[in-house]
């Protein structure tokens, strides 16, 4: 393959902390210990997140895709230590998250918010939506009730709902409206980063676009960054500036959006894209992935994808490929390159 830019391009680093970096994670791991029997004999580790390094810039949308169980949610939760990382480093706005005290973590969870797939998980059915949002404000030290009331009204309007809805209960709203309320609650603290974990996956397709547009509008106004987790590549294409692909706890490809969709490098990415006819690069044929996703308890040797790869070579089961920059800002971990 002729790659003209190779001659002139000097590879940079994934992790050089630029001035606009908001989040930097290095060699992050989250293993779940699995035990068996009465004496809780340790059987092994589920390597849900296995050595991930990543940087996000202010105001950018990084789409994170991969099949169910590959570790996307665990990564999202580990970033704010809702799941305590096994090892690795996390810096938010230059501050070491791993070293944070409980008090500092509480503050961090104002600046980084998670929006979940199911808005009901963050809304108490017995509380009015106004009280739910208010609660988030109280937790984060907004002391004056009048300021809080005004803020609740402002937040509801920001997500396209009426301020008067504050007195209603979650069940009085549709799924899409509840997700708007979930977003309003997340915005209560003026976060700098929103981790959106499949935020539209449970919604009707017609409502998905409304919520995505809302999230984009808010982002433009507030300069937010999103880590946008989804198993749906069309959604990720719609919203992201960059896209990262995860497979069995690892990132296997990372690139700017257009580059990612026009010039996918990793065979796994190729297969994911080929599954969606409209995203298939150059009208290529559909690639069928062999077998099921292997267990993260006992991942394949070498490249974890080799058991399902349509371009597998002898080296792939022997040696783990290095995650490296192949083209400008385009990283992949594959022995083909
Ligand atoms: P995704 O969000 O990509 O679907 P998850 O992050 O939820 O994936 O899960 C990654 C892997 O970690 C899966 O194999 C899952 O079964 C496992 N896992 C997630 N949470 C736990 C937990 N609390 N205890 C043990 N295993 C877990
Ligand atoms: Mg998940």
CATH of the domain at 44: 3.40.50.300
**CA-closest candidate to residue 273, choices 253, 292, 291:** 253
Indicate the pTM of the whole model: 0.90
Q: Which of 112-126, 133-147, 159-173, 195-209 has the lowest mean pLDDT?
A: 133-147
Ligand 1 pocket check for 70: Cβ under 6 Å: yes
Query: How many angstroms separate the alpha carbon of residue 137 from the centre of ligand 1?
Result: 30
Q: Mean per-residue pLDDT for 196-217? A: 92
Query: How many angstroms separate the alpha carbon of residue 74 from the centre of ligand 2?
Result: 7
Domain hosting 198: range is 14-111+191-333
Query: What count of Cα atoms within 13 Å lies in the side-chain half-sphere of residue 242?
Result: 21
Q: Answer for the pair 165, 133: CB distance below 8 angstroms, yes or no.
A: no
In angstroms, the CA 224 to CA 221 distance is 8
Name the residue at shortest CA distance from atom 13 of ligand 1. Answer: 69
Residue 266 counted as domain residue: yes
Residue 273 counted as domain residue: yes
Residue 145 pLDDT: 83
The residues placing their C-beta within 5 Å of ligand 2, an ion, are 73
For residue range 312-332, list pLDDT tens digits in order. Answer: 999 999 999 999 999 999 999
Residue 288 counted as domain residue: yes
pLDDT at 173 over 80: yes
Residue 139 counted as domain residue: no
Which ligand is in closest contact with the Cα of 117? Answer: 2
Ligand 1 pocket check for 32: Cβ under 6 Å: yes
Residue 42 pLDDT: 77
Ligand 1 pocket check for 73: Cβ under 6 Å: yes
Q: Answer for the pair 79, 213: CB distance below 8 angstroms, yes or no.
A: no
Higher pLDDT, 278 or 180: 180
Q: Mean per-residue pLDDT for 94-99? A: 96
Which ligand is in closest contact with the Cα of 75? Answer: 1
Q: How many domains does the chain have?
A: 1
Q: Mean per-residue pLDDT for 222-238? A: 93
Residue 136 counted as domain residue: no
Residue 238 counted as domain residue: yes
Residue 71 counted as domain residue: yes
Query: How many angstroms separate the alpha carbon of residue 198 from the centre of ligand 2?
Result: 7
In angstroms, the CA 127 to CA 43 distance is 43
Residue 163 counted as domain residue: no
């Amino acid at each position: 393959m002729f790659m003209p830019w190779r001659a002139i391009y000097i590879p940079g680093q994934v992790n050089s902390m630029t001035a606009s970096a908001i989040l930097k994670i290095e060699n992050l791991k989250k293993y779940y210990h699995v035990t068996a029997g009465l004496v809780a004999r340790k059987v092994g580790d589920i390597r849900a997140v296995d050595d991930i390094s990543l940087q996000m810039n202010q105001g950018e949308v990084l789409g994170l895709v991969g099949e169910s169980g590959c570790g996307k949610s665990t990564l999202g939760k580990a970033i704010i230590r809702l799941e305590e990382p096994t090892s690795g480093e996390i810096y938010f706005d230059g501050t070491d998250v791993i070293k944070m005290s409980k008090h500092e973590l509480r503050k961090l969870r104002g600046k980084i918010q998670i929006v979940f797939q199911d808005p009901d998980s963050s809304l108490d059915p017995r509380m009015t939506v106004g009280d739910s949002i208010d609660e988030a404000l109280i937790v984060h030290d907004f002391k004056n009730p009048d300021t809080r009331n005004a803020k609740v009204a402002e937040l509801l309007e920001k997500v396209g709902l009426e301020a008067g809805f504050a007195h209603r209960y979650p069940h009085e709203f549709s799924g899409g409206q509840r997700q708007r309320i979930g977003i309003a609650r997340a915005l209560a603290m003026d976060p700098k980063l929103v981790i959106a974990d499949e935020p539209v996956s449970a919604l009707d397709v017609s409502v998905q676009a409304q919520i995505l547009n809302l999230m984009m509008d808010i982002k433009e106004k507030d300069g937010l960054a999103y880590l946008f987790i989804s198993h749906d590549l069309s959604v990720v294409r719609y919203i992201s500036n960059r896209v990262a692909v995860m497979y069995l706890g690892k990132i296997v490809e990372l690139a700017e959006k257009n580059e990612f969709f026009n010039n996918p490098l990793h065979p796994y990415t190729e297969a994911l894209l080929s599954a969606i006819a409209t995203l298939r690069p150059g009208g290529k044929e559909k690639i069928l992935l062999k077998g099921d996703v292997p267990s993260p308890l006992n991942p394949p040797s070498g490249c974890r994808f080799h058991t399902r790869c349509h371009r597998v070579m002898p080296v792939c089961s022997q040696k783990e490929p290095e995650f490296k920059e192949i083209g400008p800002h385009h990283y992949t971990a594959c022995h083909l390159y």
